Amino acid sequence: MIDFKACPRCKGDVYEDRDEFGPFKSCLQCGYCLDLPSDAKSQEGWPSVALAKVGLLPMQSFSRRMQRQARVEAILKDVNRVHAD
């Protein structure tokens, strides 16, 4: 599902997805990513989080984000390679 103009950082479009680490929401324009609780199926809308309150991530959470970002970049490279040929 895509929520239009729901990103708290850039007002871009946000989609909800799930991977091996659990559910998350991510912005299509700026890449802002938020891990959701495992019972997020009943949760509606983007959580209202003030960006000024965002602090440092615990190392485990940072590692999960880096793994997810690497996977997303690999998918984008594969898609671009197909369209470049």
pLDDT per position as a tens digit, 10-28: 989 999 998 888 889 999 9
Q: Strands of 33-35's sheet, edge to edge? A: 2-3, 14-19, 22-27, 33-35
Does the predicted TM-score (pTM) go above 0.85? no
Residue type at 80 in one-letter notation: N
Distance (Å, whole) CA 42 – CA 19 = 18
Residues 6+ apart with CB under 8 A from 26: 14, 15, 17, 32, 33, 34
- Closest Cα partner for 38 from 17, 18, 20, 23? 23
Q: Where are the domains of the chain?
A: 2-84
Residue 14: predicted pLDDT: 93
- Tell me the pLDDT tens digit for each residue of 48-70: 555 555 555 555 555 666 667 76
Count of C-beta atoms within a 10 Å radius of residue 25 = 22
